Structure 1
Amino acid sequence: MWNAVIVDFITCVFPDNNKGHKIMMASRFVEVTSYFNRDYYKLSFLTDEDSWFLLKLKVFRKKCCPPELAEIGRNIAKKCNGLPLAVVVIAGALLGRTTRREWQLVDENMGEYLINRDVPDSCFRLIKMSYDLLSYYQQACFLYCASFPQGFDIPGWKLIHLSIAEGFIPIQNHLTLEEQAEECLNELTKKNLLMVMEESLDGQIKTCREFCKKEAIEEDIFWAIKNAPDEESLVTKDSGTYRRLCIDSSTLSNFLKELRKEPPMQNVKSFLCFSSNPIDNQTPDMIKSLHKGEFKSLPLMFVKFWNLETLIVHTTYPDSTFEVKVDIWSMMRLRHLHVNAPTKLPPPSASISKERECNIQTLSVIAPQSCTSEVFTRARNLRKLAIRGQVFSLSDNIASRLSELAMLKRLEKLKLVNDDQDDSRVITLPVMVFMLPNTLRKLTLSNTRLNWRDMTKLGPLESLEVLKLRENAFNGEFWEPEIGSFARLQVLWIEKTDLQASRHNFPRLKRLVLIFCEHLEEVPQGLADIPNLQEM
């Protein structure tokens, strides 16, 4: 079933006359199955053992698999990723092949067998049917996944930011670009074109992957740089036509050699490189330092990237303060800044009007000393903020600095990590925390060592849905949430604390996670009365 309209037609043909007739429908689309029956059955993926059993059944029928083919056969079955259709298609390719070498060839070229336009029973036809129902920008986002290497886990937030930066997401008045991109991502998963694995997209779906790669190149979504047969040069086309380049570890060295000989590629918009190999000594120093992550600041030259929207920096010094020297406040298209170390931001220039619009929506992570009214005034569109460092070493100013967060009227996610290792210090959450914006949906605290009594100051946050209390976020033996607090809380995560007892008061809680709560005597019995609780 591909459309909910057909469901309406069938229900008219088969009236509800209480005669006990049953109609079974199957669909790849969640919206179609839920339209007919919200209590639908969702097929699970096959285990590796079940995939191997189905493969043997289809290839050998009632005969036994020869021992010399068993090991490679299990490997082939595993690569089908639990998809019954993939197992059946590969079984068809193995029929009549009796030698180990023939099976190895199938193993090495599974994508060609799964996605073959000339074979009616291949997966290509079914994936193409789903693909053709997507909007133009959904198709572009889907094909863009193929630019990542095989086996690469694609975090959802990264795919969202890249899709926006690439211009795939259209502007709609009632949604932000991030909301529109997230909706697009959800549509792809609902149509079973992408598989969600623990809140990140797993690029290991072989069937969709090979389809993406072929279609993406045909649609000119990107160009995959490949080595020539001599392994010393590249297979290239006219460099003037390049828009997005995709390079892996096997071609990086040759590409850098060509880059030194050829003039700059003026039309290149995106450069995606995946390599863990060392770069040779002839590479420019700037590229080498970026590749290895051996840098402690973002140089002034980055201001030249005036069109930059997303900047992700991964340094090999995550425990040191990373300094941003470039004036990011003048980069008017910059939306997201991700650094894996506490980051000291430059103060906004006094010459720039405070009323001038700034598009920054993500700052993660910044150092406590950058939590100033000047910074938050310029970044008033922030939706995600992470602060890390010796937060409470600024004890005299902590109340005033936290109160600055009240300026962020659109803030949805806040993470506070204290790196101060002084275990003897007990922190009191200032009353000013009441001024946290009511738009806050997710709050994460780590090593803040607050008293459980201070939880009463967080309870009134009316939009809070996710609360993560990581290592030693709170100290104390007892926690009793006030009646009416945490009214919309759905996820509660408590990790490594000396909590011994608690009483529940979370009417909408869906998930409870307890990690290393060694002193906790029992889980409150009242949790059993929460109607929405799904997982603990």
Structure 2
Amino acid sequence: MVTTRLSKLGSQLDSNYGLQMKFMDEETSWNMFFKIVFGKESCPLNLEKIGKKIVKSCRGLPLSIVVIGGLLEKMEPTKEYWKSIRRSISSLANLENDKHCLKILKLSYNHLPVHLKPCFMYTGTYEEDHVIRVSRLIKLWVAEGFLKPISCKSLETIAKEYLTELVDRNLILVHESGSTGNIKYCKIHDLLRDLCLREAQKERFYDVVEQHSPQGTCSQRRVVIMRSTPEEKVVDALKSRPYARTCISDCTRYERLPNPKLFELVNLRFLDVKSDMYLHLPSSINLLWSLQTLIVHYPVEEVIHAPVEIWNMPQLRHVHLWSGEIHLPDPRVITLSSWRIYKPSKE
């Protein structure tokens, strides 16, 4: 099954078995909005009229209705506030449907609490339609320092609460839940992902190689290398961003640890790479003296050999291997740093 917003593409695939989805009518739109905002409760009479105007302004676009509903469900149900949302949507009247929808989504982003904005924007680093492993996403949030510490709560617990709030606002979709009810995998709608990328570029939050403007890349702190990035651009990307602290890559064809340019990123604090050839971490790994978290993906379950120099990395706290086991050399007289090794379960 293929879904697309491009009608021409749909007709080219198979016009005999294509289904043209229609926009939602006013009654169906209102019922969806009503359930999201009020659940089983009744709508206050003073909000019903303005609420129906807001729904009408969504033009029968389900995503717009869902996101605006999630926004209003979290806000104080006052007529004045709802009128301000209505005015904001009305100003978008002459835009095409996709642009209209994106602007509505932007309203929801603008009203996000400050502590949730970076967490939401970070989901744009994943490829379109990618199923996101929540445990990995939480590790990224923790490593980046996005979480506001709360007494008697671990950072992981706080991260899960942030994720739940984004889900409640209909900005993140639950893809799969675990046996205990925790969110195991999540996804993000492609239009919301586009919003993340736009805001990230605007705020210089992270730099997506080949997609964002090259202006100011030298001082960029976060670098994202998508799977579609041409091979020759990867080395250039690492070379032109010497102050990067985070490098996120989903490249399996050429992103290998022994790339010498990688070890020039002395400020790197978080590194997530895939390697399809090398079973020995290079001795030059200790050049990344600021590194705190290292995640390495190998396609086969083999023993990964670490060099003795790994004990000389004073900031290294977490090593994650997604396949195989790691063999650590005898530290000998080298002082052992306080870091932990994880081999996550394949749940």
One fold, TM greater than 0.5? Answer: yes
* Aligned twin of 1:73: 20
Q: 1:196 to 1:316 in 2, by over 3 A?
A: same
Residue-pair matches, total: 263
Q: Hey, what's the Cα distance between the residues in 1 that align with 2:334 and 2:247?
A: 34
* Aligned twin of 2:315: 333
Q: 1:68 to 1:90 in 2, by over 3 A?
A: farther
1:18-417 aligned at under 5 Å gives the runs: 71=18, 73=20, 88-89=60-61, 119-120=92-93, 122-124=100-102, 126-198=104-176, 199-226=183-210, 236-256=214-234, 258=236, 264-276=240-252, 278-279=253-254, 284=259, 292-318=275-301, 320-339=302-321, 340-349=323-332, 352=335, 358-360=338-340, 362-364=341-343
CA contact (8 A) 2:134 2:186 kept: no
Q: 1:302 to 1:326 in 2, by over 3 A?
A: farther
Q: Secondary structure at the match of 1:268?
A: coil
Q: 1:204 to 1:192 in 2, by over 3 A?
A: closer
Q: 1:303 to 1:292 in 2, by over 3 A?
A: closer
Cα deviation for residue 142 of structure 1 reads 0.3
Runs of at least 4 residues off by over 6 Å? 83-87
1:414-493 aligned at under 5 Å gives the runs: none
1:364-383 deviations in Å (ceiling 9; x for gaps): 16xxxxxxxxxxxxxxxxxx
Q: Hey, what's the Cα distance between the residues in 2 that align with 1:344 and 1:325?
A: 9
1:65-99 deviations in Å (ceiling 9; x for gaps): xx95972736999xxxxx9998923899xxxxxxx
Higher radius of gyration, 1 or 2: 1
1:26-64 deviations in Å (ceiling 9; x for gaps): xxxxxxxxxxxxxxxxxxxxxx99x99xxxxxxxxxxxx
Q: 1:363 to 1:347 in 2, by over 3 A?
A: farther
Q: Secondary structure at the match of 1:188?
A: helix
Give the helix-richer structure, 1 or 2: 2
Q: Secondary structure at the match of 1:255?
A: helix
Q: Hey, what's the Cα distance between the residues in 2 that align with 1:129 and 1:235?
A: 24
CA contact (8 A) 2:292 2:317 kept: yes
CA contact (8 A) 2:235 2:261 kept: no
* Aligned twin of 1:369: none
CA contact (8 A) 2:172 2:188 kept: no
- Unaligned runs of at least 5 residues, structure 1: 1-47, 53-66, 78-82, 93-115, 228-233, 366-385, 387-414, 416-443, 445-536
* Aligned twin of 1:454: none
CA contact (8 A) 1:148 1:203 kept: no
CA contact (8 A) 2:129 2:190 kept: no
- Unaligned runs of at least 5 residues, structure 2: 6-13, 25-31, 34-54, 65-88, 177-182, 263-272
Q: Hey, what's the Cα distance between the residues in 2 that align with 1:337 and 1:275?
A: 19
Q: Hey, what's the Cα distance between the residues in 2 that align with 1:210 and 1:251?
A: 17
Cα deviation for residue 316 of structure 1 reads 3.2
- 2:229 is aligned with what amino acid? T
Q: Secondary structure at the match of 2:326?
A: strand
Q: Hey, what's the Cα distance between the residues in 1 that align with 2:168 and 2:276?
A: 37
Q: Secondary structure at the match of 1:275?
A: coil
User: Comparing both chains, which one has the higher relative contact order based on Cα–Cα distances under 8 Å and sequence gaps of 6 or more?
Assistant: 2
Cα deviation for residue 186 of structure 1 reads 2.3
Q: TM-score scaled by structure 1?
A: 0.41
Q: 1:342 to 1:292 in 2, by over 3 A?
A: closer
Q: TM-score scaled by structure 2?
A: 0.60
Q: Hey, what's the Cα distance between the residues in 2 that align with 1:76 and 1:342?
A: 52
Two-structure CA RMSD over aligned residues (Å): 4.5
- 2:305 is aligned with what amino acid? E
- 1:267 is aligned with what amino acid? Y
Cα deviation for residue 160 of structure 1 reads 0.9
CA contact (8 A) 2:115 2:148 kept: yes
CA contact (8 A) 2:218 2:240 kept: no
1:201-246 deviations in Å (ceiling 9; x for gaps): 443412322222222211211122227xxxxxx9622332322222
CA contact (8 A) 1:323 1:344 kept: yes
Q: 1:147 to 1:170 in 2, by over 3 A?
A: same
Q: Hey, what's the Cα distance between the residues in 1 that align with 2:204 and 2:334?
A: 43
Q: 1:214 to 1:75 in 2, by over 3 A?
A: farther
- 1:245 is aligned with what amino acid? V
Cα deviation for residue 285 of structure 1 reads 7.6
CA contact (8 A) 1:160 1:178 kept: yes
Cα deviation for residue 134 of structure 1 reads 3.2
Q: 1:254 to 1:158 in 2, by over 3 A?
A: same
1:306-339 deviations in Å (ceiling 9; x for gaps): 3222211122331x22222245555343333221
Q: 1:284 to 1:72 in 2, by over 3 A?
A: farther
